C-alpha cells in the first residue's frame, strides 16, 4: 500500500502495468502483455501532468485540472480504459471522490460499471473495495484503518455512478473533495451542455488530483463534446482514434463498414475513423454547408436583389429577439440586431428604425410570438408580413411552414454567405428532424425539444429562415431612397 500511495499516485501507467495479471496463465489477461498502446500513452501523459502539478505546488503555484476528451471508432478499449482510470484513482488517491455518468442508465449500470467491476476483480487492490450496484466504496476494514491511522474520513471516498437530469442540472453538481476529484463522462456526445456547465463546479478545491475525462463515439457534430475538439480545443487534451490503428481488433469488421457505406461516408467517419460526421444522424443542416457559407467570399452578384428582413421575437425569458437581413445570397453585409428582455413596444420601435434605415423590400415577422409587434407596426403605418411557423407548407414534403422555410434556407446555404457568428452557426446546425403524421412528412425539431436536449433556442437561424417566407421583388432603387417612415406606398410584389 505504501508503494501504491507514493510511487503509483503520480504514475498511473506504472500502477496499471503492476496491478493487473498481464500475461499470467489461467487469467483473462493471459494473452495480453499489457495495456493497449494508446491506453499506455494516455496513462503516461496523465502521469506527466500529475508530476508537473506536484512541482507547481512546490513552487507555490496553483495545480491545474486535467481535461481529456477522446472521440473514437467502435471497439477500441474505451470502457477498459475507464475502468483502469477509476481503479487507479480509488487505489492511489486515498479519500478521493469519483463521479461517473453516461447518457442512459443502461449504459452506466450495465456497460460502464460492469466493466469497472470486471477489472476490479482482476486488480491486486480489488479486495480493498466493496462494489455495490453503481458504486465502489472502501471495505469496512479500509475505512476504519483510514480513520485510525491517518485521521481521514472515508464518507466521501468512493466512485459512484450518477445520472443527470437536463431539467434539473444543479442536482448533478455538488460533489467536492480536497483529496482528489475524478469526473468521467461516458457516451459524452449525448450529455447536454447544462450538465457540462455545472460540472465545472466539481473542481473548485485546489488539489493535485483533479481529472475530467470524456469519451464518446463522435455521433453529433454539435454540442459540448464536439466543442472539446473545436472551439474549446485549447482547454482539452483531445484524441481522435481510428479503430484500425488499435492492436487486437478485427480490422475486417471496419473494412466491411467502409466498403458498405463508402470511405467518405459519415458511417465510416463515426464507426471507424473516430471523426465527427459531416451531418448528424438526424441533423437538418450540415456543419460543412454552414462553414462553407461562412467562408465564402462576397461579390457584387446580388447587389440589385431584393432586401428582406426577418424578425424572430423572443418567446420566453431566456430567448432573444433577433433581426436579420438578406439580399439574395448575401446575409452578411448587414449585421444582425439582438435584443434581450425587450417588450413588444420596444421591439416594434427598433424594427421601425431598421425599416427607415435600410428600406427593406419585405419584412417578415413570426406571428406566433410577434402578434403584438405586428399590430403596433401596422398602427405606425408600416407594411409587414405575418408569418405562421405552424402554417401549412406549400410543398407536401414538409410538415409545416417553418420546416419549409428551413429547407429553402438549407438549399440557399450551398451558395449563400453568412457572417462569422458562433450563435448563428450553432443555431443552423442544432435542430434535428423527424417524420410526422400519416404522410410521414419531414418536421423540424421544435424549440422546446431542443431545450430538452440542452440546446439553445435557434433564434438567429429562425430569423434568417423567415427571410425565405416567400419570393419578393426588389423595389426601384429611386423609390427605395424616397421611402419614408410611413412605408404605405411601397409596392410589395410577391412571386410565390
Long-range contacts of range 112-118, CB-CB < 8 Å, 24 or more positions apart? 112/79, 112/82, 112/161, 112/186, 113/161, 115/79, 115/80, 115/82, 115/83, 116/82, 116/83, 116/86, 116/87, 116/159, 118/83
State the average pLDDT over residues 329-350: 93
Confidence of residue 318 (pLDDT cuts 50, 70, 90): low
- In the predicted structure, residue 373 carries a pLDDT above the cut 80: yes
Please tell me the predicted confidence (pLDDT) of residue 170. 85
Q: Comparing C-alpha atoms, which of 96, 68, 98 is closest to residue 162?
A: 98
Say what the pLDDT of residue 198 is: 92
425 grid coordinates: 452557426
Distance in angstroms (rounded) separating the CA atoms of residues 284 and 483: 38
Q: What is the pLDDT of residues 216-242, one digit of tens each?
A: 999 887 788 988 998 888 999 999 999
CA distance linking residue 74 with residue 243, whole number of Å:
7
User: What residue spans define the domains of the chain?
Assistant: 2-273, 287-489
Each residue's pLDDT tens digit, 398-451:
999 999 999 999 999 999 999 999 899 989 988 988 888 767 789 999 988 887
Half-sphere exposure of 147 (CA within 13 A, CB side): 12
pLDDT at 437: 73
Alpha-carbon distance of 279 to 264, in angstroms, equals 12
pLDDT digit string (tens) for 168-214? 888 887 777 889 999 999 999 888 888 999 999 899 999 999 999 99
CA distances to 59, 83, 184, 223, 320 from 103, rounded to whole Å, are: 40, 17, 12, 14, 29
Supply the pLDDT for residue 219: 84
To the nearest whole number, what is the mean pLDDT of the chain?
A: 89
More confident residue, 47 or 490: 47
Mean pLDDT, range 451-461, rounded to an integer: 83
Give the pLDDT score at 481. Answer: 38
The mean per-residue pLDDT over the stretch 46-50 comes to: 97
pLDDT digits (tens, 9 = 90+) for 57-101: 999 999 999 999 999 999 999 999 999 999 999 999 999 999 999
Per CATH, 2-273 and 287-489 having the same topology is answered no
Task: Identify any residues that bridge with 138 across adjacent strands, giving them in sequence order.
Answer: 129
Per-residue pLDDT reduced to its tens digit, 122-149: 999 999 999 988 999 999 999 999 888 8
Give the CATH number of domain 2-273. 3.40.50.300
How far is 443 from 200, CA to CA, in rounded Å? 35
pTM recorded for the entire structure: 0.69
Three cell numbers at 2?
505504501
What's the topology of domain 287-489?
A: Nucleotidyltransferase; domain 5 (3.30.420)
Confidence class of residue 486 from pLDDT cuts 50, 70 and 90? Answer: very low
Amino acid at each position: 500500500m505504501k508503494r501504491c500511495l507514493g510511487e503509483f499516485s503520480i504514475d498511473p501507467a506504472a500502477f496499471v502495468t503492476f496491478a493487473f495479471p498481464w500475461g499470467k496463465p489461467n487469467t483473462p489477461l493471459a494473452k495480453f502483455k499489457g495495456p493497449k498502446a494508446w491506453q499506455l500513452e494516455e496513462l503516461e501523459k496523465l502521469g506527466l501532468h500529475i508530476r508537473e502539478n506536484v512541482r507547481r505546488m512546490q513552487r507555490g503555484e496553483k495545480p491545474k485540472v486535467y481535461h481529456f476528451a477522446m472521440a473514437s471508432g467502435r471497439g477500441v478499449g474505451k470502457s477498459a480504459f475507464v475502468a483502469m482510470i477509476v481503479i487507479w484513482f480509488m487505489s492511489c488517491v486515498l479519500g478521493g471522490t469519483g463521479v461517473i455518468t453516461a447518457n442512459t442508465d443502461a449504459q452506466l449500470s450495465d456497460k460502464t460499471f460492469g466493466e469497472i467491476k470486471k477489472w476490479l476483480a482482476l486488480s491486486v487492490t480489488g479486495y480493498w473495495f466493496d462494489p455495490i450496484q453503481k458504486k465502489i466504496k472502501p471495505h469496512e476494514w479500509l475505512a476504519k484503518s483510514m480513520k485510525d491511522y491517518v485521521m481521514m474520513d472515508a464518507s466521501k471516498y468512493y466512485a459512484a455512478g450518477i445520472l443527470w437530469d437536463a431539467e434539473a442540472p444543479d442536482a448533478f453538481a455538488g460533489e467536492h473533495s480536497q483529496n482528489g476529484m475524478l469526473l468521467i463522462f461516458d457516451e459524452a456526445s449525448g450529455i447536454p451542455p447544462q450538465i457540462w456547465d455545472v460540472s465545472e463546479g466539481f473542481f473548485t478545491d485546489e488539489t493535485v488530483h483533479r481529472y475530467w475525462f470524456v469519451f464518446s463515439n463522435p455521433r453529433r457534430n454539435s454540442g459540448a463534446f464536439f466543442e472539446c475538439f473545436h472551439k474549446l480545443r485549447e482547454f482539452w487534451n483531445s484524441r481522435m482514434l481510428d479503430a484500425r490503428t488499435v492492436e487486437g481488433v478485427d480490422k475486417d469488421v471496419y473494412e466491411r463498414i467502409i466498403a458498405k457505406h463508402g470511405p467518405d461516408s459519415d458511417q465510416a467517419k463515426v464507426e471507424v475513423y473516430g471523426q465527427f460526421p459531416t451531418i448528424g444522424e438526424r441533423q437538418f443542416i450540415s456543419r460543412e454547408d454552414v462553414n462553407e457559407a461562412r467562408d465564402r467570399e462576397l461579390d457584387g452578384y446580388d447587389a440589385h436583389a431584393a432586401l428582406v428582413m426577418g424578425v424572430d421575437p423572443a418567446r420566453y425569458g431566456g430567448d432573444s429577439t433577433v433581426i436579420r437581413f438578406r439580399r439574395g445570397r448575401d446575409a452578411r453585409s448587414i449585421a444582425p440586431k439582438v435584443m434581450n428582455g425587450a417588450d413588444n413596444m420596444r421591439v416594434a420601435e427598433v424594427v421601425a428604425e431598421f425599416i427607415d434605415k435600410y428600406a427593406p423590400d419585405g419584412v417578415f415577422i413570426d406571428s406566433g410570438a410577434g402578434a403584438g409587434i405586428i399590430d403596433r407596426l401596422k398602427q405606425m403605418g408600416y407594411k409587414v408580413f405575418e408569418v405562421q411557423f405552424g402554417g401549412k407548407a406549400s410543398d407536401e414534403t414538409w410538415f409545416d411552414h417553418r420546416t419549409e422555410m428551413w429547407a429553402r434556407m438549407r438549399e440557399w446555404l450551398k451558395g449563400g454567405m453568412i457572417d462569422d457568428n458562433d450563435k448563428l452557426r450553432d443555431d443552423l446546425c442544432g435542430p434535428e428532424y423527424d417524420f410526422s403524421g400519416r404522410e410521414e412528412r419531414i418536421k423540424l425539431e421544435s424549440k422546446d425539444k431542443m431545450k430538452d436536449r440542452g440546446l439553445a433556442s435557434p433564434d438567429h437561424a429562425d430569423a434568417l429562415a423567415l427571410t425565405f417566407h416567400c419570393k419578393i421583388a426588389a423595389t426601384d432603387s429611386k423609390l427605395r431612397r424616397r421611402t419614408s417612415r410611413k412605408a404605405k406606398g411601397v409596392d410589395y410584389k410577391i412571386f410565390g
